[in-house]
């Protein structure tokens, strides 16, 4: 089954995490790169941007105590809103409403997720609807949403004890056309505390491992 881009959120051993996977039929030559407090997805050949402007963006962005994950530039807006004090659910809803679905030939939905402490949020903006939901991440496990086929919020079997393991696990999900993946993992050791979360970032590109 081809599901396109995938956003996953979850928690393992009291540590929150967020993951992202690029699956693509049209633009498979892309890579993920960690850049300080974000992970950038971009084409190997910059000329591909002339064909489709949607294929380069920050797929993960850290915003204080929260990690934001998304399939487009709305990740930056969500992160900025959270940094300014907006609640994650409202930040996702506002940003998805502002951007709407992608104006490509497939009307590709925009998807997003946020994790902060023991809570998580997922959102999707399709051509005909916008939905956002909050999740209790008190136990181990995860939830996902994708751009095609898997557009409902559902549980996903993904575990890992580091950003690298979550990124690899997201890449290995049994859906077609995986390209690259990335993850943020709360390595603060105090996922429920009031202190500042310390998210570690990782990117997985199969050509380099």
Written as one string, the DSSP assignment of 25-64 is SS---EEEEEETTEEEEEESSGGGGGT-GGG-EEEEEEET
What region does 117 belong to: left with phi over 0, alpha with psi -120 to 50, or beta?
Answer: left
151-200 pLDDT, tens digit each: 999 999 999 999 999 999 999 999 999 999 999 999 885 544 444 568 99
Length of the chain equals 209
Residue 173: the pLDDT is: 97
For the segment 44-63, the average pLDDT, to the nearest whole number, is 95
Residue 191: the pLDDT is: 47
For the segment 67-87, the average pLDDT, to the nearest whole number, is 98
Of the candidates 121, 80, 78, 113, the residue with the CA atom closest to the CA atom of residue 99: 78
In the chain, beta strands by DSSP E: 6-12, 15-23, 30-35, 38-43, 57-63, 66-70, 110-116, 119-125, 130-136, 141-146, 154-156, 178-186, 199-204
Q: What percentage of the chain exceeds 70 in pLDDT?
A: 94
b/e per residue 43-77 (b: at least 16 CB within 10 A)? beeeebeeeeeebbbbbbbbbebbbbbbbbebbbb
DSSP annotation of 128 reads S
What is the SS3 assignment for 152? coil
Categorize the per-residue pLDDT at 140 as very low, low, confident or very high, splitting at 50, 70 and 90. Answer: confident
Q: What percentage of the chain exceeds 90 in pLDDT?
A: 88
Residue 114: the pLDDT is: 98
Q: Quick count: other Cβ atoms within 10 Å of Cβ 80?
A: 15
pTM of the predicted protein model: 0.94
Q: Taking 80 as the threshold, does the pLDDT of residue 109 lie above it?
A: yes
Element (H, E) at 105: none
Tokens representing residue 60 in the block: 């993960």
CA-to-CA distance for 205 and 209, rounded, in angstroms? 6
CA-to-CA distance for 137 and 126, rounded, in angstroms? 25
At 19, phi and psi to the nearest 5? Answer: -135, 160
**Which domains does the chain carry?**
6-204 (3.60.20.20)
First to last CA, the chain: 24
Q: Taking 70 as the threshold, does the pLDDT of residue 78 lie above it?
A: yes
Residue 195: the pLDDT is: 44
What is the rounded average pLDDT for all residues in the chain? 94
Better-scored residue on pLDDT, 153 or 105 = 153
């Amino acid at each position: 089954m081809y599901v396109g881009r995938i956003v996953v959120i979850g928690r393992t051993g009291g540590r929150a995490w967020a993951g992202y996977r690029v699956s693509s039929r049209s633009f498979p030559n892309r890579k993920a790169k960690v850049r300080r407090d974000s992970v950038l997805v971009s084409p190997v050949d910059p000329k591909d941007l002339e064909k489709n402007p949607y294929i380069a963006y920050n797929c993960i962005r850290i915003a204080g105590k929260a990690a934001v994950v998304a399939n487009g530039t709305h990740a930056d807006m969500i992160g900025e809103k959270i940094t300014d004090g907006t609640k994650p659910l409202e930040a996702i809803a506002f940003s998805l409403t502002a951007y709407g679905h992608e104006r490509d030939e497939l009307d590709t939905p925009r998807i997003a997720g946020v994790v902060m402490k023991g809570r998580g949020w997922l959102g999707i903006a399709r051509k005909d609807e916008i939905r956002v939901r909050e999740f209790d991440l008190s136990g181990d496990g995860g939830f996902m949403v994708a751009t095609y086929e898997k557009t409902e919020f559902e549980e996903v079997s993904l575990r890992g004890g580091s950003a690298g393991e979550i990124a690899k696990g997201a890449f290995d999900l049994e859906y077609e056309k995986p390209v690259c993946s990335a993850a943020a993992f709360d390595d603060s050791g105090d996922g429920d505390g009031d202190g500042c979360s310390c998210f570690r970032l990782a990117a997985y590109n199969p050509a380099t491992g």
